Structures are given as structure tokens and as C-alpha cells.
């Protein structure tokens, strides 16, 4: 089922209601390959994670804009990258620091909101905007490690033909959105990626409970509910951007209950 144009338009239209321009004050600019900054009194970490840049040309920066009500983070990232059109260069993201380490069976909800836009975009931009959620069969571990069992990605945008790891295995409707589900293997873990089923769909206003994605995976795709949710991130993966691209998040929140 495709997302109705009217529904998507309505989502986009409400974004400004969450932004107080007077409250947005830029903070330190992160430019280092693995530069980080604590946000919202330690609730989140902003990560300028340029993990895949070896052999390619470009740069990326990130900065927090504001934290309101203790949980609502506004932030932005700007980048240019050339070479290796199929290679992800970075994953500038916001990582949650609380509520992690619970078994999926013990989680009742994962409420999140994410309102974002491309302030500027290169004409040849290839990139995704996505959540990256990590599972492990072992408590007390982290994502993207030898102890990882599953990586769950939820793509809200796929510009320029960007595609997840693996191949599409089915189409599923979750929270009224139609998703193409991909399955693949990266390093030692299995990756499930939910990508909007329509290539033209870009979800710039997302307000949902991510628990529904895990309920689907444990019910229909064999993901054990005994696995622990050890890391939860939201950010962007650029492949190519020969001129400057800027992605601005006007409000981001997430919690694990």
C-alpha cells in the first residue's frame, strides 16, 4: 500500500509547529572523523561518524542546534563526498544513551518523533535517512561488534537509488506505511532494513512506536524476543554528494519503555 499523498503532505505541513526559531542556537561544530558531543544533559550523543571514508574525497560536519523540554533535539549535518558510488561514507547520527540493554520481550514501547528536511541537496545525491537499531544475544554489549546478532534499519528516505544491504524479501504494512523489507548479512550479523515501498516516498515527519517493527520481526522473521536492544541511533548515510548537502533535523526524540 502506498502512502497517500495527502497524508504525506499533512505530515510535512506540521513540521514548523515543532520549531521555535528563536530557540535555535548553534553549538560546537564537529568535524573530526569520530567526533562526538553529549546532548540534552547526556540523554543523547551526537556522533560525526565518518567510518567509511578511506580512499574517498570529501568532508562532513555536524552540530547540535537546540535541546528543548529536555528531550527534543534539533541538529544538522553538512557534507560533500565523491568516489565509490556504492560505498557508504559515514553515519552522522544521534545515539540514545538511556533505556538500552532490555530484552525485546521486556520492552513495551519505543516512542519516537523525527522531523527533518534537506536544507540543500546535491543534484547527484545518493543517501539514506534512517534509524539503526542493534540487537545482541548477549547483555551489556554494543552495536556493530562481533557480539551483534541483528541490525535493524528503518529508512525514511532513499535518494538517488540508495538501496539497503541484501535483497528484498517481502512487502509489509506497519503503522499505515508500506515498507519493502530487505534481508542481508554484514560482517557477522543479519541486517533487516525497512525501506518505503514507493521510491518517491520520503517520510520527513515521523511520529510512531518502533516496537511495532520488532513485533513484526519476532512474529514473522524469526528474530528472538530474548535478544537485547543494545544500541539505538538515527542519522544519515551518504554515498555520493559532489556539491554540498545539508540535512536539518528540527525535532528528534526517542525513548525505550
Instruction: Kindly list the catalytic residues.
Output: 151, 237
- Within 8 A by CB and 6+ apart from 234, the residues are 93, 94, 112, 114, 130, 131, 132, 252, 254
Q: How far apart are CA 160 and CA 188, in angstroms?
A: 28
Cβ atoms of 107 and 256 closer than 8 Å: yes
3-state secondary structure the chain: CCCCHHHHHHHHHCHHHHCCHHHCCCCCCECCCEEEEEECCCCEEEEEECCCCCCCEEEEEEEEEEEECCCEEEEEEEEEEECCCCCCCCEEEEEECCCCCEEHHHCCCCEEEEEEEEEECCCCCEEEEEEEEEEECCCCCCCCCCCEEEEEEEEEEEECCCCCCCEEEEEEEECCEEEEEEEEEECCEEEEEEEECCCCCCCCEEEEECHHHHHHHHHHCCCCCCCEEEEEEEEEEEEEEEEEEEEEEEEEEECCC
Amino acid at each position: 500500500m502506498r502512502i497517500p499523498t495527502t497524508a504525506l503532505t499533512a505530515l510535512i505541513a506540521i513540521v514548523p509547529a515543532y520549531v521555535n526559531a528563536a530557540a535555535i542556537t548553534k553549538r560546537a561544530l564537529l568535524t573530526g572523523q569520530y567526533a562526538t558531543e553529549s546532548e540534552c544533559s547526556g540523554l543523547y550523543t551526537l556522533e560525526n561518524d565518518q567510518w567509511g571514508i578511506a580512499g574517498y574525497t570529501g568532508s562532513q560536519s555536524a552540530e547540535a542546534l537546540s535541546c528543548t523540554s529536555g528531550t527534543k533535539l534539533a541538529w544538522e549535518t553538512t557534507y560533500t563526498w565523491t568516489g565509490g558510488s556504492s560505498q557508504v561514507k559515514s553515519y552522522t547520527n544521534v545515539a540514545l544513551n538511556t533505556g538500552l540493554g532490555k530484552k525485546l520481550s521486556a520492552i513495551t514501547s519505543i516512542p519516537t518523533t523525527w522531523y527533518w528536511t534537506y536544507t540543500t541537496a546535491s543534484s547527484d545525491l545518493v543517501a539514506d535517512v534512517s534509524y539503526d537499531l542493534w540487537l545482541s544475544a548477549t547483555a551489556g554489549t554494543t552495536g556493530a561488534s562481533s557480539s551483534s546478532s541483528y541490525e535493524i534499519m528503518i529508512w525514511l528516505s532513499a535518494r538517488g537509488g540508495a538501496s539497503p544491504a541484501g535483497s528484498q524479501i517481502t512487502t509489509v504494512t506497519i503503522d499505515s506505511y508500506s515498507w519493502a523489507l530487505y534481508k542481508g548479512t554484514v560482517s557477522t550479523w543479519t541486517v533487516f532494513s525497512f525501506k518505503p515501498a514507493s521510491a518517491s516516498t520520503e517520510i520527513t515527519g515521523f511520529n510512531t512506536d518502533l516496537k511495532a517493527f520488532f513485533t513484526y520481526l519476532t512474529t514473522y522473521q524469526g528474530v528472538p524476543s530474548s535478544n537485547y536492544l543494545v544500541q539505538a541511533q538515527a542519522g544519515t548515510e551518504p554515498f555520493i554528494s559532489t556539491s554540498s548537502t545539508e540535512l536539518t533535523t528540527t525535532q528528534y526524540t526517542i525513548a525505550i519503555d
